[in-house]
């Protein structure tokens, strides 16, 4: 197949294409199990294979995909035809940042292939967790397991040939209960990084059992709690909500295609402009954020992106100042040209597609906040006069330019004079992005830092669901409006 792909690429180059690549998926398989109140409601496996072809012609992209590889001629020709018509409406001819021709392979670290684990063993795990969550106060209990494994062969017209084998594991436990007013409250646990490999071995019964007990206990506390007050407080975000704050108001806001207006028809833009790089005080001096796709074992580490660029670790915000973006080959060239200066040195290696039939776009890798020097969670609490600790994503909504947000969390604990006080229910907080990050007053140390997994980030048209990660510490923000 590789030889045939190369022949097709050469054929289109001879016909005038300036760049061609193909992503051949010999296979992509997934396995999803979901147990709800003891019922195995969903046991689904999927398998697909096919190829996506991207062609650059006279500064415009064409893309085509098919699971039918009996006629590569037709597939490549269709992609070329799509590029030809796109070339009739070009305002900034696409150029791709330089990269090396790479012949390499990448395999995500995995000890036990989850697709070789018997179904009965997976079901037994869910049953065990279901029984652990089946306690007083629990109205609904849910456990799910998601496994993905895909092989991707990337070949381009610049001499790159990369083979990747990626295994993903996601798991969630969730309970809900109903309070005296008839309002439902949820509490969940999502698998996050616990080791340097990610296969079936990630499904550690001890960790899940402990967390099953914890979420039941905390959910029951919420059921008896008073409502969250409506006022301004210091908000202490635990990693279970801090990851989403980072995702929505740093990650998406710093995707360079959004900044350049490529998502305005759907997902939205960004308040960030090209003039802001190097000068915008995005947050307080305690904020350093990075896009790090080099960490072992996270959904945001993939070896090479779908432009064939190696994974990188790039600073986005350095001590509060905006310095970088989430970038691929196309956008950095356009951004530098439009800014009339070299803001970006090259691709950040973040262009990814979620399937063979989707085109690569700029996606978050692991968008992380560096741990700080404000000690442990206990230290931060001790130094907080009037605060609230929040955890667990319940609802999130962000302005179209990522300029403002509203989050609801599953649980919160009030803090008074350095002491944790009572749990409150229906906690929410809201803010304006830059003001909020500039109110960052404490960043927890390494003991508070957790790598959280995200398996459902949506972006693009046609829409693509992507997997990624967020390594975040506990953070405190001052004068934040809560309870609305």
Partner 1 sequence: MKEKILNILRDLRSYALKKGYEVTIFYHEEDSYLMRFANSAISLNTNEHLIRLEITAYVGNRRASYELITNLDKVDEMKQGIDVAAEMAQHAQPLNYQPTIPALTESFADESSFDPALAQISNEERLAFFNHAVAGLETEDIKLSGVFTNGANTIAQITTRSAHTQYFKTSDAQVTAVLAHSKLKWEVQSEQSAQEKSDLDPDLAHAELAFLLAKYQQSNSLQLPLGSYKIVFGAAATADMLNIMNWIGFSGGSLKRGFSFLNEAQVGQRVFSEKFSMVDDPSRRETFPFQYDLAGIERKPFKIFENGVFKGFTWYQDDADEFGATPTGHNVMHKSLVVGAGSQAVNSLEELVALPRTEDILYIPFLHYMNIVNPSKGIFTASSRFGALLLKKDGSVEVPFNVRVTQSLFDIFGDKLEWLSSATVAYNTSSSYGARNPTALIVPMFTCVNNLEISHSNTSY
What residues between 179 and 238 interact with partner 1 by CB under 8 A? 182-184
Q: Among 34, 104, 112, 465, which residue sits at the site for partner 1 (rule: CB under 8 A)?
A: 465
Return the residue matching tokens 């000890």.
111
User: Among residues 268 and 310, whose Cβ is nearest to partner 1?
Assistant: 268
Sign of CA dihedral 372, 377, 378, 383: positive
Q: Among 280, 432, 439, 447, which residue sits at the site for partner 1 (rule: CB under 8 A)?
A: 432
Binding region for partner 1 (CB under 8 A) out of 120-128, 287-295, 412-420, 442-450: 120-128
User: Among residues 7 and 45, whose Cβ is nearest to partner 1?
Assistant: 45
340 lies in the binding site for partner 1 (CB under 8 A): no
Q: Which DSSP string corresponds to 310-323?
A: BP-EEEEEETTEE-
Q: Least distance in Å: CB of 302 to partner 1?
A: 21
- The secondary structure of residue 298, as a DSSP letter, is S
Q: Least distance in Å: CB of 235 to partner 1?
A: 16
Site for partner 1 in 154-183 (CB under 8 A): 176, 178, 182-183
- Asked if 192 and 202 touch (Cβ cutoff 8 Å), the reply is no
Task: Look up residue 140 and give its two tokens.
Answer: 């609904």
- The secondary structure of residue 114, as a DSSP letter, is G
* Helix pair 119-133, 205-223: axis angle to 10 deg: 30
Preceding omega of 368 cis (within 30 degrees of 0): no
Q: Among 8, 18, 64, 312, which residue sits at the site for partner 1 (rule: CB under 8 A)?
A: 64
466 lies in the binding site for partner 1 (CB under 8 A): no
Site for partner 1 in 408-427 (CB under 8 A): 408, 426
Q: Among 16, 109, 229, 261, which residue sits at the site for partner 1 (rule: CB under 8 A)?
A: 261
User: Among residues 154 and 262, whose Cβ is nearest to partner 1?
Assistant: 262
3-class secondary structure, 388? strand
436 lies in the binding site for partner 1 (CB under 8 A): no
Site for partner 1 in 65-104 (CB under 8 A): 65-68, 70, 78, 81-83, 85-86, 88-92
Q: How many residues bind partner 1 (CB under 8 A)?
A: 83
Binding region for partner 1 (CB under 8 A) out of 6-14, 31-39, 281-289, 376-384: 31-39
Q: What is the largest CA-CA distance in the chain?
A: 73
Backbone angles phi, psi at 431, to 5 degrees: 180, 175
In terms of Cα–Cα distance, which of 460, 12, 429, 90 is closest to 265? 460
Site for partner 1 in 279-338 (CB under 8 A): none
Sign of CA dihedral 104, 72, 9, 329: negative
Backbone angles phi, psi at 307, to 5 degrees: -100, -5
């Amino acid at each position: 197949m590789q030889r045939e792909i190369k022949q097709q690429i050469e054929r289109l180059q001879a016909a005038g294409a300036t760049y061609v690549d193909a992503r051949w998926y010999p296979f992509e398989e997934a396995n999803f199990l979901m147990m709800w109140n003891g019922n195995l409601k969903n046991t689904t496996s999927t398998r697909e294979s096919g190829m996506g072809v991207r062609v650059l012609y006279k500064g415009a992209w064409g893309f085509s995909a098919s699971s039918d590889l009996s006629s590569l001629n037709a597939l490549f020709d269709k992609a070329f035809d799509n590029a030809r018509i796109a070339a009739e409406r070009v305002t900034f001819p696409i150029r791709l940042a330089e990269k090396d021709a790479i012949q390499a392979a990448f395999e995500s670290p995995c000890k036990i292939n989850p697709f070789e684990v018997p179904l009965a063993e997976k079901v037994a795990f869910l049953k065990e967790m279901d029984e652990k969550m089946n306690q007083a106060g629990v109205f609904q209990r849910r456990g799910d397991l998601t496994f993905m494994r895909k092989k991707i062969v990337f070949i381009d017209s610049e001499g790159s040939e990369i083979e990747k084998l990626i295994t993903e594991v996601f798991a969630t436990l969730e309970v809900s209960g109903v309070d005296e007013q008839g309002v439902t409250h949820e509490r969940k646990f999502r698998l996050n990084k616990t080791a340097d490999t990610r296969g079936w071995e990630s499904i550690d019964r001890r960790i899940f059992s402990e967390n099953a007990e914890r979420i039941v206990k905390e959910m029951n506390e919420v059921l008896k709690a008073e409502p969250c007050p409506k006022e301004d407080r210091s908000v202490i975000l635990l990693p279970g909500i801090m990851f989403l704050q980072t995702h929505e108001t740093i990650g998406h806001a710093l995707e360079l295609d959004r900044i350049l207006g490529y998502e305005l028809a759907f997902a939205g833009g960004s308040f960030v402009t090209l003039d802001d790089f190097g000068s915008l005080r995005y947050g307080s001096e305690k904020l350093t954020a990075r896009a790090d796709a080099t960490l072992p074992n996270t959904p945001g580490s993939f070896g090479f992106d779908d432009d064939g660029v190696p994974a990188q670790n790039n600073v986005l915000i350095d001590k509060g100042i905006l310095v970088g973006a989430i970038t691929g080959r196309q956008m950095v060239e356009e951004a530098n040209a439009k800014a009339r200066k070299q803001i970006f040195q090259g691709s950040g290696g973040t262009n990814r597609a979620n399937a063979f039939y989707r085109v690569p776009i700029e996606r978050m890798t692991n968008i992380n906040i560096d741990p700080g020097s404000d000690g442990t969670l206990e230290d931060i609490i001790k130094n907080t006069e009037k605060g609230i600790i929040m955890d667990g994503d319940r609802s999130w909504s962000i302005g179209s330019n990522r300029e403002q947000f509203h989050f609801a969390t599953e649980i919160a604990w009030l803090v008074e004079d350095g002491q944790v006080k009572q749990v409150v229910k229906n906690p929410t907080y809201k803010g304006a992005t830059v003001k909020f990050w500039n109110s960052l007053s404490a960043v927890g140390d390494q003991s508070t830092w957790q790598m959280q997994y995200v398996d459902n980030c949506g972006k693009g048209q046609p829409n693509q669901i992507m997997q990624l990660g967020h390594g975040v510490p506990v953070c405190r923000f001052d004068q934040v409006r809560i309870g609305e």
